[in-house]
Amino acid sequence: MIDIHCHILPGLDDGAEDLDTSLEMAALAAESGTRILVATPHCNIPNEYMNYLDEHITQTFLGLQQAIQQEGIPLQLAMGMEAFGTDDLPLLLRMGKVATLNNTHYLLVEFYFGDDPDRVQMVLEGLLEEGVIPVVAHPERYEYVRRDPELAVDWKSMGCLLQVNKGSVVGSFGRDVQDTVHYLIQQGLADAVASDAHSPYQRTPFMEEAYEMVCDLYSVQEAQRLFWDNPACILRDEPALPGRQRRRDWR
Instruction: Report the interface residues with Fe ion, using CB under 5 A.
Output: 82, 196
Per DSSP, what are the bridge partners of residue 2? 36
Cα–Cα distance measured from residue 146 to residue 126, given in angstroms and rounded to the nearest whole number? 24
Cβ distance to Fe ion smaller for residue 36 or 109: 109
Cβ distance to Fe ion smaller for residue 111 or 155: 111
Cα–Cα distance measured from residue 227 to residue 216, given in angstroms and rounded to the nearest whole number? 14
Cα–Cα distance measured from residue 78 to residue 101, given in angstroms and rounded to the nearest whole number? 8
- In angstroms and rounded to an integer, the radius of gyration of the C-alpha atoms of the chain is 17
Kindly state the smallest distance separating residue 201's Cβ from Fe ion, in Å: 16
Cβ distance to Fe ion smaller for residue 53 or 215: 53
Kindly state the smallest distance separating residue 216's Cβ from Fe ion, in Å: 26
Cβ distance to Fe ion smaller for residue 6 or 213: 6
Other beta carbons less than 10 A from residue 129's beta carbon: 9
Cα–Cα distance measured from residue 89 to residue 82, given in angstroms and rounded to the nearest whole number? 12
Tell me the residue nearest to Fe ion as measured from the CB: 196
Kindly state the smallest distance separating residue 218's Cβ from Fe ion, in Å: 24
Cβ distance to Fe ion smaller for residue 26 or 218: 26
Cβ distance to Fe ion smaller for residue 99 or 218: 99
Kindly state the smallest distance separating residue 5's Cβ from Fe ion, in Å: 6
Write the burial class of residue 102 (CB in 10 Å: 0-12 exposed, 13-18 middle, 19+ buried). Answer: middle
Is residue 183 within 8 A of residue 217, CB to CB? The reply is no
Kindly state the smallest distance separating residue 155's Cβ from Fe ion, in Å: 18
Kindly state the smallest distance separating residue 6's Cβ from Fe ion, in Å: 8
Cβ distance to Fe ion smaller for residue 3 or 179: 3
The DSSP annotation for 182-221 comes to HHHHHTT---EEE--B--SSSS-S--HHHHHHHHHHT-HH
CA contacts within 13 A on the Cβ side of 234: 37
Cα–Cα distance measured from residue 131 to residue 246, given in angstroms and rounded to the nearest whole number? 31
Kindly state the smallest distance separating residue 137's Cβ from Fe ion, in Å: 6
